[in-house]
Structures are given as C-alpha cells and as structure tokens.
Amino acid sequence: MQGLTAIAVGLVLGMGALGTAIGFGLLGGKFLEGAARQPEMVPMLQVKMFIVAGLLDAVTMIGVGMALFFTFANPFLAPVTGG
C-alpha cells in the first residue's frame, strides 16, 4: 500500500467518524428540543430519529467499505507499478 493511500484511508475514516458524531449530536439535540416542546409527539419523533440515525450509520459504513477497498484492492497502485 502506498503512503498517500494510507493517509487517504485515515482521512476517510476519521472524517466519517467526525461527521457521524456531529450528526448524532445535532440529531439528539433536536429530538430533545422537539420532545420538550411537544411531549405528545415523542413516539413519532423517536421513530424518525431512529430512521435518520440508521442513515447516518449507513453513510459511515459506506466510507469504511471504501477505505477497506483502497487498503486491500488499491485501484491506483496498478498504474504506478505497471501491472
């Protein structure tokens, strides 16, 4: 694996984790604001919160998959090595 690919993989994983953490923080804060404003809407808000949380995790897993692809089956390495 090339050094720049390792840096790119680290950035993909790190930024993915950072984005997910920020997303979960915003999501939880808005959920609590909505629950405090209208307590009768908590079940509906909770369902929507879990759907969005699943989508946030899916985006992170796509980033992890891409990082693993670049780590083990690097498509950029063949032109450099002539293979």
- Active-site residues, by number, are 57
Structure tokens at 52: 């969005």
- Please, are residues 1 and 40 in contact by the beta-carbon 8 Å criterion? no
The answer to whether 62 and 33 are in contact (CB under 8 A) is no
What tokens were used for 18? 């950072």
